[in-house]
Structures are given as structure tokens and as C-alpha cells.
Amino acid sequence: MKPFHIFNSLTRAVEPFMPLDTSPTPTATFYSCGPTVYLPQHLGNMRAYVFVDTLRRALEFNGYTVRHVMNITDVGHMTSDEDAGEDKIEKTARAEGKSPLEVANFYIAQFKRDCAALNIALPIDAVPDAVAHPPQSALCRATDNIPAMIGVIEQIAAHGYAYTTPSGVYFDVEKWRGPSGMGRLSRQSLSEQHAGQRLEHSADKRSPHDFALWVLNQPHHMMQWDFPGIGRGYPGWHIECSAMSMRYLGETIDIHSGGLDHIPVHHENEIAQSESATGHQFVRYFVHNAFLTGMAGAKISKSAGRFPVLDDLVEEKIHPLAFRLLCLGAKYRSELAFSIDAVRAAEKNLNYLNEFVRCLQPRVIANAHDAAWAGAYEERFHEAMNNDLNTPQALAVALELVAAAYRQNDHRIWHTLRIFDMVLGLDLEGRIKEIAKGVFPPRINRLMTEREKARAAKDFKRSDELRAEIELSGYEVKDTKAGMVVMPKRVAP
Ligand code: AMP
Ligand code: ZN
């Protein structure tokens, strides 16, 4: 295995990635802070998910099996990250005359749609309220994990780091002096971490820096659950990530991601909660993406009013994957300025790659061997990806490979390009599918369309019959994540 290097915010250094699992076929555990579902996800949020998806793909490219969990925040995230204000989901619910569940379901569906358009593979939906289960990948909702959160709060309290008052259960920040301390990640004192934020200092909190694990006595709050022995209420925002990470991945995980904005409060608090509950290190590698900024350099945020979303690009007739390519064109730790012109420029590179693939001869696609000279590009691509996810360089290698194929009039690079695309996620395979449709006789096209319908209807018996019929006509049928790919049967190289 080639060593994969990534910047660890805990040590502020690029480090070789070494997962906890040291077996010859290792699994890497990866938790990503996911969306708060009260408004559409803006393109800044989508940058964070493109980063998550690229990191997962890069780990898989390096031979790791990735167990990936992403949470969906559908309760407890207040309009201020400091427990103050109104629950974001409930604010939208009140404004739109809907239930919090309706609001969450609506924006979750939109989030999934946007991820699909950007070729971001999300983990599978967790089964709500499933009892004990082995560690697994999951897209999981906070409201489905309240018992797990209560369990972690009880562990924290049992170790003496939580106290209960009439307004809630709080984490005792001043008392916590665990292995990571408070501020290890942000390298800031408590007052620096909270600088510029209006701290809610309710009379019964021991310190203004203490944060809520469970909120009590808020009768206007719509979503409430019983915490046996404590009272009816709802969780603070941070506890969900500690609880879901532990529930689905275990007490210590390899990688935890989020945007840079999560460092000073959310992730500091997650570390304190998790490590005070278990006594073990919570995360081995914390990774953070930099912001997508507006033209004036300001972070794009939901609270700042009008923010760009994927639908804006569709309206401008820009392919969504051009945004993915824009993200890949910058290092994930560098700020990236958003503008329609910048996405249009990225779309030119997308079109360049698509055009090349569209013009490939079926004979070249079917040929199992690429030109020998393509091997050097694969080496360079791998090196770039393993160097702290240097996607701009990896993308440049992909573009250079295509340019070299044109220059030498030797197009035998499809398999190399396909490997690159498994990491870049630009769906070049989809173009192959389109040309396949175009070059096949009408009878095969008809059988393909019928089989796609059978697959969508989960009629696998019919789908298998159709596969056999297509294969009998001299074609190879493959079912990929991007759908069915049909190619003329391989000829010997
Ligand atoms: P939220 O839905 O606000 O909880 O954010 C979801 C994810 O998007 C988090 O990982 C944030 O850190 C990240 N994020 C928010 N704004 C931006 C931005 N402008 N650029 C990049 N990432 C962002
Ligand atoms: Zn989180």
C-alpha cells in the first residue's frame, strides 16, 4: 500500500494515515458532520460534502474499506452555536406552518437530490431506532438517536463532568482537564474560542463556557423526549455527533471531518464530551475543509441571507458536475471564491474530458490494456492524491493525460482515465453509457431501456432475462453505481 498523507488538525501537520485496523485489508472509520436540515444546503455546504466524498474515494482508491457515517441534524442546533436562540428546524417549521418532521424530511430529500447531482455517494440510511447492531456505515438522524445521546450524557455525568440545574444538564468545562483538554484542537483559550460570541449565561450555569447536553423546562420547544431521572427536554447540538459516532463506529474513530467553522466550538465540545464519557481518545485525525466564499471574500452562510444553491447553476444551464470540478480545482484547505464565471471556466474542463470520452471508439473502450505510456500518469495521479488530497494536481494529471492522447493520436487511455474518475467522481462512465446507446443497433437499445426499467422496478428476474438476451447478441453487461454499462464483448488485445 502506498502511504496516504492527510493534514491532521489535531497536530497541525500532514501525517501518514495509519488506521486503527492494522490488518492486511484494513477498514478506516470516518465520521462527517452533516447538514442541519432547515434550509436548502448552499454551495458552501456542498463544498464540504464534495470534500468528504473525495476523501472517501481516495481512501478506497488506496485499498481501504471505508465505514462512513454522516449525521443529519434535525433537532438541537440553535440559531446561535452557543445554545442560545431558537431551534433552527422549529424556526422554519413555525414560519412555514409545518411540523419539524415535515421540514426535516423536505430538506433531507433536497440534500440527497443535490448530492446525487454532484455524484456524492452518501452512506445508506440508518434504520430508525434499530437496537444494538454491529458497527456500520450510516446516514443517521439525530432524532433517531436520542437514547444513544442519553446514554453518553449518563456516562459523562457518572465521571463527574456534568451537572444538572433546572434549565438543563451542562458540561462542566472548567473541570474538564482530559487528555485533550479544551482548546487542544483550536489552540485557543476558552475566552479566545468564544471571542465575539454572545455567551448565554443563565443564572444556573457554573461558567458561561459550559454548554448544554440536555435542555430542560422549555415548554415552547416542539420536540421533547423523556430523559429518565432527569426530565423532559431535548439534546444540545454537540452531543448528537459524539453519540452517533460512538454508536455506529466505536469509541475511537480514525477520521472526523467538518468545515473550519466547527473547530472552535462544535468539535472542541465533541472531543470533551466523548473523551470524558469513555476515557479514550475520540478521533485520531481531524480534517477540516476551508470555506467557499462569495465574491467579496465573505464566507457563504445561511444566516447571511441570500446564498447560492445548486439550483442556481441549473438555472444558468451549468452542469452540476462543473461545481464538483471547481471544488477539485482548489486544495481543500484553501479558500475558494465562488462566482458563476469560475464555475463556467470549470465547466470547460468538464466538457473537454467528456468530449474525449464521447469520441472513444468502442474498440478502444473494450480493449483491456491501455497504452504503456499512460502508466506514468497513473503514478503521478496517485502521488498527488496521497499528498494531502492534492486534487488540483490530480485533476491536472487527468487533463494532461487526455491532451497527450490527442497529441500522440493514441487514445488507449480509457482504463487509466476510469480509475482517475473513480476518485474524481466526474461520471465519465456515464458518457460511455451514452455513446453505447448511440452506437448500438436499435434492438439492443430497446433491450437496454427495458432492462433499466426492470431494474428500477426491482424486477430482477426480468432484468436477468434481458441481460441474457443482450449478452447472446455479443455484448457485455455490467451493473455499476452509475447504472448499466453495455459494451461489445472484449476482443483480445
Ligand atoms: P450546517 O448545515 O450549517 O451544519 O453545515 C454543514 C457543513 O457545511 C459543515 O461541515 C460546515 O462546516 C460546512 N460549511 C458551512 N458553510 C461553509 C462554507 N461557506 N464553505 C465550506 N463549508 C461550509
Ligand atoms: Zn458534528
Is the CB of 88 inside a 6 Å radius of any atom of ligand 1?
no
Ligand with minimal distance to 290 CA: 1
pLDDT reported for residue 484:
75
Q: Atom of ligand 1 at shortest distance to CA of 73?
A: 4
Distance separating alpha carbons of residues 303 and 247, to the nearest angstrom: 31
Q: Ligand 1 centre and the CA of 48: distance in Å? A: 6
pLDDT of 124 over the 50 cut = yes
User: pLDDT band at 363, cuts 50/70/90?
Assistant: confident
Collapse the DSSP code of 400 into the 3-class scheme (helix H, G, I; strand E, B; otherwise coil) and give the result.
helix
pLDDT of 87 over the 90 cut = no
Distance separating alpha carbons of residues 381 and 28, to the nearest angstrom: 22
pLDDT in tens, 183-194: 778 777 777 766
Of the listed ranges 166-175, 209-218, 430-439, the one predicted with least confidence: 430-439
pLDDT of 443 over the 90 cut = no
pLDDT of 437 over the 70 cut = no
Of the listed ranges 185-194, 231-240, 270-279, 399-408, the one predicted with least confidence: 185-194
pLDDT reported for residue 250:
95
Is residue 214 within a helix (H) or strand (E), and if so which, with residue range? Answer: strand 211-216
CB count in 10 Å sphere of residue 363: 11
pLDDT of 338 over the 90 cut = yes
Distance separating alpha carbons of residues 434 and 448, to the nearest angstrom: 12
Q: Ligand 2 centre and the CA of 476: distance in Å? A: 44
pLDDT in tens, 445-482: 889 889 989 988 999 999 999 999 988 877 778 776 55
Q: Atom of ligand 1 at shortest distance to CA of 41?
A: 2
pLDDT reported for residue 101:
92
Single-letter code of the amino acid located at 375 = G
Q: Atom of ligand 1 at shortest distance to CA of 300?
A: 19
Mean pLDDT along residues 141-157: 97
185 contacts: CB under 8 Å, gap ≥ 6: 9, 10, 263, 267, 268, 271, 286
Mean pLDDT along residues 90-106: 92
| Between 214 and 436, the higher pLDDT residue | 214
Q: Atom of ligand 1 at shortest distance to CA of 261?
A: 12
pLDDT in tens, 10-37: 999 999 999 999 999 999 999 999 999 9
Q: Atom of ligand 1 at shortest distance to CA of 32?
A: 10
pLDDT in tens, 38-59: 999 999 999 999 999 999 999 9
Ligand with minimal distance to 274 CA: 2
Is the CB of 36 inside a 6 Å radius of any atom of ligand 1?
yes
* Ligand 1 atom 12, closest CA: 259
Q: What value does the mean pLDDT of the chain take?
A: 90
User: pLDDT band at 132, cuts 50/70/90?
Assistant: confident
Cell of 286: 481531524
Mean pLDDT along residues 128-156: 91
Is the CB of 308 inside a 6 Å radius of any atom of ligand 1?
no
Single-letter code of the amino acid located at 15 = E
Q: Ligand 2 centre and the CA of 486: distance in Å? A: 41
Mean pLDDT along residues 134-140: 90
User: Distance of CA 316 to CAs 189, 312, 339, 446, 473, Å?
Assistant: 46, 6, 12, 33, 42
Distance separating alpha carbons of residues 17 and 31, to the nearest angstrom: 15
pLDDT of 171 over the 80 cut = yes
pLDDT reported for residue 493:
31
pLDDT reported for residue 326:
98
pLDDT of 233 over the 90 cut = yes
| Between 5 and 83, the higher pLDDT residue | 5
- The residue whose CB lies within 8 Å of the most ligand 1 atoms, and thus the one to mutate among 31, 39, 45, 263, is 45
Distance separating alpha carbons of residues 293 and 287, to the nearest angstrom: 19
Q: Atom of ligand 1 at shortest distance to CA of 47?
A: 21
Q: What percent of the chain has pLDDT over 70?
A: 91
| Between 352 and 489, the higher pLDDT residue | 352
pLDDT reported for residue 198:
52
Is the CB of 259 inside a 6 Å radius of any atom of ligand 1?
yes
Give the largest Cα separation in the chain, rounded: 79
pLDDT reported for residue 492:
38
| Between 418 and 299, the higher pLDDT residue | 418
186 contacts: CB under 8 Å, gap ≥ 6: 192, 193, 263, 264, 268
CB count in 10 Å sphere of residue 36: 22
Q: Ligand 2 centre and the CA of 137: distance in Å? A: 16
Find where cell 426480468 sits: 462
Q: Ligand 2 centre and the CA of 237: distance in Å? A: 8
* Ligand 1 atom 18, closest CA: 44
DSSP symbol at 355: H
- Using DSSP bridges, classify how beta strands 231-235 and 168-171 pair: parallel, antiparallel or unpaired: unpaired
Single-letter code of the amino acid located at 452 = E
Q: Residues 57-76, buried b or exposed e (16+ Cβ, 10 A)?
A: bbbebbebebbbbbbbbbbb
Q: Ligand 2 centre and the CA of 258: distance in Å? A: 7
Q: Ligand 1 centre and the CA of 306: distance in Å? A: 15
In sign, the C-alpha dihedral spanning 408, 412, 418, 423 is negative
Is the CB of 301 inside a 6 Å radius of any atom of ligand 1?
yes
Is the CB of 289 inside a 6 Å radius of any atom of ligand 1?
yes
Collapse the DSSP code of 36 into the 3-class scheme (helix H, G, I; strand E, B; otherwise coil) and give the result.
strand
* Ligand 1 atom 5, closest CA: 35
pLDDT of 379 over the 80 cut = yes
pLDDT in tens, 293-302: 986 667 777 6
Please write down the HEC assignment for all residues of 283-321.
EEEEEEECCEECCCCCECCHHHCCCCCHHHHHHCCCCHH
